Amino acid sequence: MATAVITPERENYLNQEYGIKSWLLTVDHKRIALLYLVSITFFFFIGGFFALLIRLELLTPAGDLVQADTYNKLFTMHGQVMIFFFLIPSIPAVLGNFLVPLMIGAKDLAFPRLNLLSWYLYIIAGALMLHCICTGGVDTGWTFYTPFSTAFSNTKVVEAGVAIFIAGFSSILTGLNFVVTIHRMRAPGMTWDRLPLFIWAHYATSVIQLLGTPVLAITLLLVVFERVFHLGIFDPTRGGDPLLFQHLFWFYSHPAVYIMILPAMAVESEVIACFTRKRIFGYKFVAMSSIAIAVFGFLVWAHHMFVAGISLYSALIFSALSYLVAVPSAIKVFNWTATMYKGSITFTTPMLYAFGFIGLFTMGGLTGLFLAALGIDVHVTDTYFVIAHFHYIMVGGAVMGYLGGLHFWWPKISGRMYPEWLGKFAALIVFLGFNLTFFPQFILGYMGMPRRYWQYPPEFQVLNVLSTAGSTILAVGYVLPMVYFLWSMRYGKPATENPWNAAGLEWKTSSPPPTFNFDQPPVVDFEAYDYEHIPEVEEVPVG
Amino acid sequence: MFDNLPLWPARASTGAGNVDALYIFLLLLSGFMCLAIFSMIVVFALRYRRQHGHEAEQIEGSTALEITWSVVPLGIFLVIFAWGAFIFFQERTPPRDASEIYVVAKQWMWKLEHVEGQREINELHVPVGRDVKMIMTSQDVIHSFYIPAFRIKQDVLPGRYTTAWFRATKPGVYHLFCAEYCGSQHSGMIGQIVVMEPAQYEAWLSGGSSSGSLASNGESIFQQLGCVTCHRSDTQGRGPNLAGIFGKPVQLEDGLTVVADENYVRESILSPSAKVVKGFKPIMPVFQGLVSEEQLTELVAYVKSLSAAPTAGTKVRESKVQ
Ligand SMILES: [Cu+2]
Ligand SMILES: [Cu+2]
């Protein structure tokens, strides 16, 4: 085990075939993961660009940089691009795609062609979204609330709706592929209780994708039909109900938060185990908490609607249920912290991201308790408090998880080490920039600044200036990794089979792995996070 | 306490202090939680950082600990839930004798009408110390009526009434925001709440231009649209006598009973066949599209005034025996 063989010359999935066709027609899950990596990075920078424009507009109270209508399109498309074209596919479609078969000792996913199809669906959806952006864009907010979206907006609602509808199918197919793969393709000896927590969390995520996304698809179709054929489903003048839309939309979009955060939790479990050299404390509870989150996640949607006009009693029930779903998240945080106890901790870049993740996710989670409290929600919902809260979860949590995971598995994916000191530096920049951007927004929100405001009363300016300053720092933190990852593909130190000396099947094959992942089909006779039997290396590798 | 900290808006209603109290409690609680978790992480990171000749100690887990850190937070969560629910309950139950303001929202302005007949746009004058209930609807998309200084917010929907209430405690001028995205000028859909001492308020009321009280305007619309032909003040009309129905249960043809609130009256006018009163035929014409939101609020105010106590000085007809 853990032989430090450097294998850049060996045949692997990257050098087995060359040419554009070998990529566009590939059915190798690892190559498809890379296709996703490139495409979601593209959309990440588009969404990020919109975010920067938003922040620049908000530097001053007056609406002076862009027109009101442009501003409305910017925040709408920032949300749609980031959520549907970056966050939802991010970890599952890139890291999950790459790692699920490797981690369970399979040759590929259960349906390799379906996997390629889901990438193509994503690309079609993305092209449509881009077309929509370039030819005018949408201004409904990413939430598409009716009757604004169905009867009042005169922007490209149908096109954006169809784009997200198609992207949804890409997500459903990925989920389906993972569920079947995890059930059917595990190597001999890889029992359920030996699965890495990465797999458990991806399993839970896939179930949500399978059950939730069709509801989003139907909802968007209804919006499109209502807009085109004036059916009247959401139109009160025809006996329809605009709140019905909100119920349907949040029935998917609340669980969607877990589609984004569970995979990040998946990454953290692997990273923390590796860099504390320990089995995750309370493995079973962490695994089950993923399932609990997936199940309870479907029962809390109306907490987005406490002031929307739902009855007093349904508000009470949804508030109570929202507190229940907070418990499994808390369990995870406590277990990760406990894992560090009596560990042997190294401070590599992925571990720094893990620390950042725990910190920011904890703050995001705790502010969720504020929002679930009915009396407080009335005041802070639809203000910057909510914006800050979900960015702590989705950027502080999900994006930190994604970046941490990318660093952790980069040697496996590319066969090269990234420059460690630059990695640490970028992680620090991201952490500082993030907090400076979003912490002031909690205060802004409680002071009463509503979200989606193009201009605002002058007393809110100081905090907005801080936030904008933070966003520029954050931008630097995001550009850096892209630059040095690209650099490392050529100039990085070649990676060994297992540079972190980590447990897990993905580290028992060469870096990068051969096309069919393992030279010999692996047999599993050890538990997950078997760090007890993995000797520590002398030096932590630095690229 | 801490009135002048720029961490929260002015506290100008009876409810605001309650919300802030829970908020401060949660700030302390989550501050403590963060401190506990973060200092643990820092201590572990320093104490158990990788050192020569020192290996990690494998620990499987501890069911006792798992149960503790699930059950204890759950207990705390339930306390927060109950506290939040209690505040919400108060926010959602307006006092019975609150004075009423009708609010009609549209892209992108707030139209506010006092029962006495004063109409305001993007501005609302109210006296200190009086319970005020807003009955709100939208002419187009969803808006949200938000007064940070009172810590209240309520979405305003097309096609139905939603309500909110407050009792102002401090004279001053406060923000009124639209909090639900509603199109181009969403951020321009703002206004002012002017809270005045009662004497000043009375002066303002009598000085303003009133175009007749809502109920009396409603009465003339009631005549213009021919409602009176069916809804007579005796039991001989083809439709039910409307006196005294408001706030009381109504027996429906399908056997159900509903309480006649603002939304019921609204629906009875716009789509009468949705709920047909027991003993009557569904012959009432549909008024959807024939009355504006303002006329509708005036009709509702009129129907309500038929059920007000005689001392209130409004017309009351003898109510049909229940
Ligand atoms: Cu509005
Ligand atoms: Cu608005």
**CATH 2.60.40.420 domain range(s) in chain B:** 1-34+74-211
CA-CA-CA-CA torsion for B266, B267, B273, B276, nearest 10 degrees?
-80
Residue A5 in domain: no
Q: Which pLDDT score is estimated for B322? A: 34
- Cβ-contact A42, A35 below 8 angstroms: no
Q: What is the pLDDT of residue B320?
A: 35
pLDDT of residue A543: 45
Structural domain range at position A179: 24-533
Token reading at B148: 């940070």
Q: Looking at the complex, does the CB of residue B141 fall below 8 Å from at least one CB of chain A? A: yes
Structural domain contains residue A330: yes
Q: What is the pLDDT of residue B317?
A: 37
Tell me whether residue A436 is in a domain: yes
Residues of A in contact with B64 (CB under 8 A): none
Fold of B214-321: Cytochrome Bc1 Complex; Chain D, domain 2 (1.10.760)
Q: What is the CATH number of the domain that holds A318?
A: 1.20.210.10
Q: Are B200 and B174 in contact (CB under 8 A)?
A: no
| Cβ contact B77–A323 (<8 Å) | yes
Flag whether A29 is in a domain.
yes
Residues B229-259 have pLDDT tens digits of 888 887 777 888 888 888 889 999 888 899 9
A39-78 residues touching B, CB cutoff 8 A: 63, 68-69, 72
Which segments of chain B belong to CATH 1.10.760.10?
A: 214-321
- H or E stretch covering B203: helix B198-207
Looking at the predicted complex, does its ipTM rise above 0.85? yes
Residue pair A501/A534 in contact by the 8 Å Cβ criterion: yes
Q: Does residue A461 sit within a domain?
A: yes
Read off the pLDDT of residues B20-65 as tens digits, 9 standing for 90 and up: 999 999 999 999 999 999 999 999 999 988 887 788 888 888 899 9
Cβ-based neighbours of B233, under 8 Å, separated by 6 or more: B241, B243, B317, B318
Q: Does B25 touch chain A (CB under 8 A)?
A: no
Q: Does B182 touch chain A (CB under 8 A)?
A: yes
CATH topology of domain B1-34+74-211: Immunoglobulin-like (2.60.40)
Each residue's pLDDT tens digit, B94-103: 998 899 999 9
CB contact under 8 A, A374 and B84: yes
Q: Do A446 and B7 touch (CB under 8 A)?
A: yes
Å between B91 CA and nearest CA of chain A: 8
Asked if A480 contacts A426 with a C-beta cutoff of 8 angstroms, the reply is yes
Work out the minimum CA distance from A466 to partner chain B, whole angstroms: 15
| Nearest CB neighbour to A342, from listed B56, B78, B81 | B56
Q: Which of B50, B65, B176 to mutate to test the interface with A (most CBs of A within 10 A)?
A: B50
- Per-residue pLDDT of B144-163, as tens digits, reads 999 999 999 999 999 999 99
Tell me how far apart the alpha carbons of residues B198 and B218 are, in angstroms, rounded to a whole number.
Answer: 27
Q: What is the torsional sign of CA B113, B114, B119, B123?
A: negative
Confidence band for B313, pLDDT divided at 50, 70 and 90:
very low
Q: Where are the beta strands (DSSP E) in chain B?
A: 99-106, 109-114, 119-121, 123-127, 131-138, 143-147, 152-156, 162-167, 172-178, 191-196, 249-251, 257-259
Predicted confidence at residue A3, as pLDDT, reads 46
What angle in degrees, to the nearest 10, is found between the helix axes of B16-47 and A349-372? 160
**Number of domain units in chain A:** 1
Would you write out chain A's pLDDT as a tens digit for each of its 543 residues? 344 445 446 788 988 888 899 999 999 999 999 999 999 999 999 999 999 999 999 999 998 999 999 999 999 999 999 999 999 999 999 999 999 999 999 999 999 999 999 999 999 999 999 999 999 999 999 999 999 999 999 999 999 999 999 999 999 999 999 999 999 999 999 999 999 999 999 999 999 999 999 999 999 999 999 999 988 899 888 888 999 999 999 999 999 999 999 999 999 999 999 999 999 999 999 999 999 999 999 999 999 999 999 999 999 999 999 999 999 999 999 999 999 999 999 999 999 999 999 999 999 999 999 999 999 999 999 999 999 999 999 999 999 999 999 999 999 999 999 999 999 999 999 999 999 999 999 999 999 999 999 999 999 999 999 999 999 999 999 999 999 999 999 999 999 999 999 999 999 999 899 999 998 889 998 889 988 888 766 565 554
Kindly report the number of other CB atoms within 10 A of residue B31's CB atom: 11
Contact A363 B77 (CB under 8 A): no
Q: What is the pLDDT of residue A206?
A: 96
Which of B54, B153, B154, B287 has the most A C-beta neighbours within 10 Å, making it the best mutation to test the interface with A? B153
Examine residue A13 and state whether it is found in any structural domain, yes or no. Answer: no
When CB atoms are compared, the residue of A366, A367, A454 closest to B187 is: A454
The predicted pLDDT at position A9 comes to 61
pLDDT computed for residue A384 by the predictor: 97
Q: What is the pLDDT of residue B209?
A: 66
Helices A312-340 and A283-296, axial angle in degrees (round to 10): 160
Closest-CA residue of chain B to A148: B141
> Which residues are within 5 Å of ligand 2 (an ion), measured at CB?
B 178, 182, 186, 189
Residue of B nearest to A240 (CA): B159
pLDDT at A533: 83
pLDDT at A541: 53
The environment of the single-atom ion ligand 1, i.e. residues with CB closer than 5 A, is B 143, 178, 182, 189
Containing H/E element for A223?
helix A197-229
Q: Decide if A453 touches B, using CB distance below 8 A.
A: yes
Lowest mean pLDDT among A310-314, A426-430, B263-267, B312-316: B312-316
In tens, the pLDDT along B206-228 reads: 876 667 788 888 888 888 888 88
Sign of CA dihedral B23, B25, B29, B31: positive
